[in-house]
Amino acid sequence: MTAEPNKPCQIKRDYQQLINLYPATADTDAHYLSKLSIYQQRVFEAHSQQKLLILGQIGLGNGLELLSWWRTQANPSQRLLLKVFEPNPINAYELKSLWDQSLALVKETPFEPNLESKQASALECKSELSQLAQTLLDAEPTAIIGCQRLIFDDGRTTIDLHFGDIQTQLSSLSHSPMHPVQHWLILPHLLQALHHQSHWQMAKLSDDSATIATIGLSESSGLSETTINRFQACGFTVSDINELATKALGIHQPVTLINHQPDAVLLHERQVLRQQDAKAYAFNPMAAILSSATQSSIAIIGGGLASAHLALSLAERGQGAQVFCKDAELGQGASGNRQGAIYPLLTPENDELSRFFQQAFLFSRRRVQALTSAPAGNQTPISHDFCGVLQTAHDERSQLRLDKIIQGQPWPSEIAYAVDAEQANAIAKINLDKPGFFYPLGGWVCPFEYADAAIQKALQLTEVKLHLETEILEIEYQSEGWYLIATKHRFGPFAQLVLANGAELTQFDASNKLQISPFRGQVSHVPAQFQLSQLATVLCANGYLTPSYQGLHCLGASYVKEPEHLDFCPQEQQENLMKMHESYPNQSWLEDINMNGNNARVGVRMVTRDHFPMMGCAPDVAKILEDYEQHQHTKESRHYWQTTPAPVHQGLYILGGLGSRGLSSGPLAAECLAAQLCGEPIPLDKETLCKLNPNRMWLRKLLKGKAL
């Protein structure tokens, strides 16, 4: 079950403002697109043997360059990751306004006559670009600061939209040795806006033979010598697309994009930058990179949302895995609820936590859309409704907190916007009579169906082996890798082992010291009847209430630390009801909530103190404590912990601690771990990766010279 989202407020900027912020690159006609296509074809030809091609683009412009990269990609066995850096955040509705105008200017005339005979006409080009534009718009990019990862064609095309100050965005990323940026395209209106430091940050992220191309504002105005010198001083070969196209059309031969290797001094400067980065974050070890010979050497323990999405993210990279689930079906733990709310966690400061959850929520929402819009025969149903989430206060303290969030930032209206009591009633379709904060792209998703759809898609893409009713009792590491021990079987060895087993995350000796706590949650199922059945959005206050699905609403949830049992609790059932009465007092629809059937589901969520999930290398706590004996809280010890990789268990990784917002955070955390395991660029900045690291609680103290 699906529904169109409640659309946010009207576009804030008129078309002229958009043109000023995102100017067209050149005359957007067939002549310009043909020149652009020549350059892009040459790039793909130069790297036709690579399984993954990383490209960078500075500036979004009117979006045609991005769409043209996507259109020109012709090799079905090659994956493309395009990283676009744009200083002015923009949303899907504004993009549509730009693209409608830009595509309308594409003349219905043939491309240059001396191109290949199979070159499409301008009309065909316009049609293809329009289809790609709509596909990207359907992914609903939003005007937030940071990276939004958009995945298309089962992972064949990935677009990272980096919005915000370009220097900040570039410097926040780590160099990816296995998969650096091979080519950069710089849109002309940002050429002069790039700082010298930005040039070097681009160099840091690039292959040593990477090139830069840009577009002269006209055929007669090529790049200035100053511009060329600035980039050559950072080791780049610089080209003008106008000149490349002219040469290609004139001599009918491929144009070489890579003209020379940077000299040794410039290569050394790049390496110094990478070493400085590595030294500054030495305490935060990353996943060991898999070799191509280990296609089936990843084991994942767990049968919930996290493990299923990790298997999917790996499968999109052609990487197989074996998944071990103790139950007869996926999603029987915390992922087993009928409905779960999905919306971002915001903070007044819009800090790393808030920015991470915005990125993660949007990524997860796109995953649901992609899995449910797959071609007929390849779908696994996911019950969901992006009906929005309406957050309201339930007492004076929560009202102050909510007010701080609302007033703390100029939130993009597609993320959230304030509503008064009358608007809240209209959105909910029942009387609430209080103001709130509305998340228009949020809603609810069935978690266990979401997990199953992810694993089914993974099975379609590559070799994934799913072991159901297989409880892993022990894990042990030997020189050849990790072994998994069940009652009757021993599996392994595996080069990499990921613990994504939810409430059992701390069951093994290697993970039992993780600073994470289990919380029991009882969700009540109440019949949809009378006024209550009219509820049209997810309500979030002291507890939550969902719209009806298959005749039932979900109401909850209790929050009991370190529970003694998972049996049904009548007291928690009544507490769930009282939370609604506290949140919306004296509303007649509350009388329609019938708890007599004692219908409920109990699960355990694993929660961290700082609300970030855990994703990354499993810390070797015993070794940390041993080293601590030698390097306690002094100035020297702070330097030691800052510059020394924190001890970890080789080849062991953690993916868990999703808490009560796993629907939002789990898929992106899984995507980032898959990228690490495969040595690919990660769609999170270095600071946020530190916040996700499972060793962070110890390292925060050690880096400050404090006692453990």
Q: What is the DSSP string of 546-559?
A: PPPBTTEEEEE---
Q: What pLDDT, on the 0 to 100 scale, is given for residue 25?
A: 65
- Could you tell me which residues are beta bridge partners of residue 549? 552
- pLDDT for 336 equals 86
Residue 18 pLDDT: 78
DSSP 64: H
What is the reported pLDDT for 265? 86
- pLDDT on residue 180: 96
- How many angstroms separate the Cα of 680 from the Cα of each of 175, 179, 613? 10, 6, 21
Q: State the pLDDT at residue 368.
A: 97
Report the length, in residues, of the chain. Answer: 708
Q: What is the pLDDT of residue 61?
A: 87
* C-alpha span between 335 and 604 (Å, rounded): 9
Three-class secondary structure of residue 447 per DSSP: helix
- The C-alpha atoms of residue 547 and residue 379 are separated, in whole angstroms, by 24
pLDDT of residue 291: 56
Model pLDDT, residue 16:
77
Q: What is the pTM of this model?
A: 0.94
Beta strands of 468-626 (E only): which ranges? 474-478, 481-485, 490-494, 496-499, 517-527, 538-541, 543-545, 552-556, 560-561, 600-607, 614-619
- Residue 106's pLDDT is 62
**How much of the chain, in percent, has pLDDT values that exceed 90?**
69
- Token pair, residue 230, equals 């600035």
Query: 467: helix, coil or strand?
Result: strand
Contact 44/53 with Cβ under 8 angstroms? yes
Question: 552 pairs with which residues across the strands?
Answer: 527, 549
Q: Give residue-wise pLDDT tens across range 536-552.
A: 999 999 999 999 999 99
pLDDT < 70 regions, the chain: 1-12, 25-30, 105-122, 216-223, 245-262, 288-296, 376-379
Spatial CB neighbours of 59, under 8 Å, sequence gap ≥ 6? 84, 85, 86, 186, 187, 189, 190
Helix axes 352-372, 662-677, angle to 10 degrees: 90
